[in-house]
A and B are shown apart, each in its own frame.
Chain A
Amino acid sequence: MNVTAFHDVVLVGGGGAGLRAAIAIAETNPRLSIAVVSKVYPMRSHTVSAEGGSAGVVRPDDSLDEHAYDTISGGDWLCDQDAVEAFVKEAPEELLRLEHWGCPWSREPDGRIAVRAFGGMRKMRTWFAADKTGFHMLHTLFQTSLKYTRVVRYDEWFAASLLVDDGRVQGVVALELMSGKIEAITAKAVILCTGGCGRVFPFTTNANIKNGDGMALAYRAGAPLKDMEFVQYHPTGLPFTGILITEACRSEGGYLLNKDGYRYLQDYGLGKPEAKPVLRSMELGPRDRLSQAFVKEHEKGRTIETPYGPVVHLDLRHLGEQLINTKLPFVRELCLKYQNIDPVTELIPVRPVAHYMMGGVHTDIHGATPLLGLYAAGEAACVSINGANRLGSNSLPELLVFGARAGRAAAAYASSAAEPRSAVLAQAEDERRRMQRDLLHKIDGRERLAPLRDELHQSMEQSAGIYRSGNSLAQAAVKLRELQDRFRHVALQDHSRTFNTELMAALELSFMLDVGEAIVESALRREESRGAHQRTDFPARDDQRFLAHSLVYRNADGSCRVEYRPVTITRWPPGERVYGR
């Protein structure tokens, strides 16, 4: 077995969290050698698609407590409040640091940072770079990371499994796409920054690369996944493509209209319609409520039917060309290029679309998982600051704050941890043989990837959508077990070593099946409705039984085991979520 290299810390994933962590490690201890293992070139990572903005308290009329309260009530009191307090405190520093690294934040006329309103936030605190905030943040981080010579990149390497020995994580086994080499990259600590798993759903804003890789890696290695039942549906995606139309459209004053041109959100306890946007009201309500309102509106027959499902309309026409061009240029570009619609003069058809995983690898406030040497940050992780529903513009600061925290924690650990043991090399050799035997060289399987993936999609959409029921979830659980069995009989058509994307797709599908099971199983066990998890058979919140995080563990036979863990409450006891008043 080859060892490509030994590093002190290996990062899996080169998006916002991964790059921030890499820089944090380099600055904490310049002697440490850092590897960024990413299945795409880092600037292709999905952070690039984030549009609207990044929340951090900067205005004198705002306060950290208000940001914390918005986040906690937005998360339906499932957030760990110590984590939220750390998060809101460090978010402005991190955003400022990015400003110093060159991020082209939009500005006030006098040169200060500009902020905009965002859903569920009671103050204007969302920093933005027009409507390409994630793109600019990612490229700033990536370009800045080029400065640090201790950061070694493994671009287009796919991490297939974690190396665990003696109770601690000691590296990864990774496939180099270009050559087909499968090698061990050993390290004292591993940080998972692989993002979410929106691709387990058929209709999603998520890029093709978001398959829950890191979640599955951790889960298979024995670390628990937390709060996986909480899947955020973004209320405004373009039909067919699922392309995200940012919440910033509504914070700039856009309206959501049903087929009669009526601002229907007023019927769902979200306040009264005003001409100008009102914070924490109507179109600026939280995403879970807006997506749920859409479903109810559809049931009343007041949505518009299209070949790609029911839609409502997002109306920006009254904002004027000038504002749209300066504050929402990307939205206009996307509508023109992909939908052939000009938002300056036309209504944009939108529908809810799977967008973000509140859940992820269970970590503490420093990004550490229960597995020694394993850390996680960003959407792949669940700290949890997002609880049962994330507020728009909290995910970008989250990946900075907790990317940096995980980086510092891993650096401290790696500075004193023991060297990886040679036993892991035998493990890596086994893994390589397994991949070659079960996938690359197998010719007699009867299953193909695409149909399996389609069935996974169907199952997930039917059972784990905006509204769920015990029945559909139980059926999905059975179905996913069946798909797991059938996956063992998959045969690839492509047996070549060089840039075998079918092999990668197979590994990703097996990750998605695991993550899909974790989502369905946690959703089935949570017999209440909270935030983004709405059960038609248990329509009320149940703080008695479920003011708790669910933790899914993987049993030896591959099945799931769900346990619970109390939520940390510091200063904000559970209350009612009130919007529009």
Chain B
Amino acid sequence: MNEQPKYTDFHPRWFRRRMSTYWWLKRWSYVMFILRELSSVFIAWSIVFLLLLTRAVSQGQEGYEQFLAWSKNPVVVGLNVISLLFVGFHAVTWFNLAPKAMVVRLRGRRVPALWIAGSNYAAWALVSALVAWLILGG
């Protein structure tokens, strides 16, 4: 946005510091920031995995069996576990910032942040339980 300044005798060069390659290790919040950026790779992987699954299903019983066998490969399991962790990480990030993004007022008073985040977590737990019941018990 800023135009590059014109340096002259009467306007010596500003010193622009470069961020070191390891700047993100300086602070825990920066590490989190980089992890979130990095997570996009794994989220992309999950989508690819889902597409592969869809294709396998469309190929019938044999294709599906093959896909399942391939999924048991430790590398694939590892990738999926990491992806799950990242998705969980994102969920926590979003639920924690929900009270900042949503300002809810009840009788003129701002609803405490803990309530908003708490209700998000409660809803998450509920939906997870439902999914678990569908898959494991149902």
Whether A and B touch directly in their complex, counting CB atoms under 8 A apart, is answered as yes
The closest CB in chain A to the CB of B9 belongs to A497
Question: In the complex, what residues of A have CB within 8 A of residue B12's CB?
Answer: 497-498
CA distance A179 to B9 in the complex (A): 9
In the complex, which residues 1-32 of chain B have their Cβ closer than 8 Å to any Cβ of chain A?
8, 10-12
CA distance A180 to B11 in the complex (A): 8
Question: In the complex, what residues of B have CB within 8 A of residue A180's CB?
Answer: 10
CA distance A181 to B10 in the complex (A): 6
A 469-501 to B, binary, CB cutoff 8 A, 1 in contact else 0? 000000000000000000000000000011000
Between A and B, how many residue pairs show CB distances below 8 Å? 10
Question: In the complex, what residues of A have CB within 8 A of residue B8's CB?
Answer: 179
Question: In the complex, what residues of B have CB within 8 A of residue A497's CB?
Answer: 10, 12
In the complex, which residues 206-232 of chain A have their Cβ closer than 8 Å to any Cβ of chain B?
none
CA distance A181 to B11 in the complex (A): 8
In the complex, which residues 495-510 of chain A have their Cβ closer than 8 Å to any Cβ of chain B?
497-498
Smallest CB separation, A302 vs chain B (Å): 46
**A146 CB–B CB distance under 8 Å:** no
Question: In the complex, what residues of A have CB within 8 A of residue B11's CB?
Answer: 178-179, 181
| From B8, B10, B11, B12, residue with most partner A Cβ within 10 Å | B10
Smallest CB separation, B26 vs chain A (Å): 26
The closest CB in chain B to the CB of A181 belongs to B10
B 102-115 to A, binary, CB cutoff 8 A, 1 in contact else 0? 00000000000000
Question: In the complex, what residues of B have CB within 8 A of residue A498's CB?
Answer: 12
Smallest CB separation, A484 vs chain B (Å): 31
A 158-201 to B, binary, CB cutoff 8 A, 1 in contact else 0? 00000000000000000000111100000000000000000000
CA distance A498 to B9 in the complex (A): 10
The closest CB in chain B to the CB of A178 belongs to B11
The closest CB in chain B to the CB of A497 belongs to B10
Question: In the complex, what residues of B have CB within 8 A of residue A181's CB?
Answer: 10-11
Question: In the complex, what residues of B have CB within 8 A of residue A179's CB?
Answer: 8, 10-11
Smallest CB separation, B12 vs chain A (Å): 6
The closest CB in chain A to the CB of B7 belongs to A179
CA distance A466 to B28 in the complex (A): 54
The closest CB in chain B to the CB of A498 belongs to B12
The closest CB in chain B to the CB of A183 belongs to B10
The closest CB in chain A to the CB of B11 belongs to A179
Smallest CB separation, B5 vs chain A (Å): 9
CA distance A498 to B12 in the complex (A): 7
Smallest CB separation, A503 vs chain B (Å): 14
Smallest CB separation, B44 vs chain A (Å): 43
CA distance A181 to B8 in the complex (A): 11
Smallest CB separation, B106 vs chain A (Å): 19
Smallest CB separation, A485 vs chain B (Å): 33
CA distance A498 to B11 in the complex (A): 7
Smallest CB separation, B14 vs chain A (Å): 9
CA distance A180 to B12 in the complex (A): 10
A 217-254 to B, binary, CB cutoff 8 A, 1 in contact else 0? 00000000000000000000000000000000000000
Smallest CB separation, A292 vs chain B (Å): 46
Smallest CB separation, A241 vs chain B (Å): 32
Smallest CB separation, B128 vs chain A (Å): 41
CA distance A124 to B12 in the complex (A): 55
CA distance A179 to B8 in the complex (A): 9
Smallest CB separation, B6 vs chain A (Å): 11
The 10 closest A-B pairs by CB, nearest first: A179-B11, A179-B10, A181-B10, A498-B12, A180-B10, A497-B10, A178-B11, A497-B12, A179-B8, A181-B11
On A, residues with C-beta under 8 Å from B are: 178-181, 497-498
Instruction: Give 8 A-B pairs besides A179-B8, A179-B10 with Cβ atoms closer than 8 angstroms.
Output: A178-B11, A179-B11, A180-B10, A181-B10, A181-B11, A497-B10, A497-B12, A498-B12
**What are 10 A-B residue pairs whose CB atoms fall within 8 Å in the complex?**
A178-B11, A179-B8, A179-B10, A179-B11, A180-B10, A181-B10, A181-B11, A497-B10, A497-B12, A498-B12
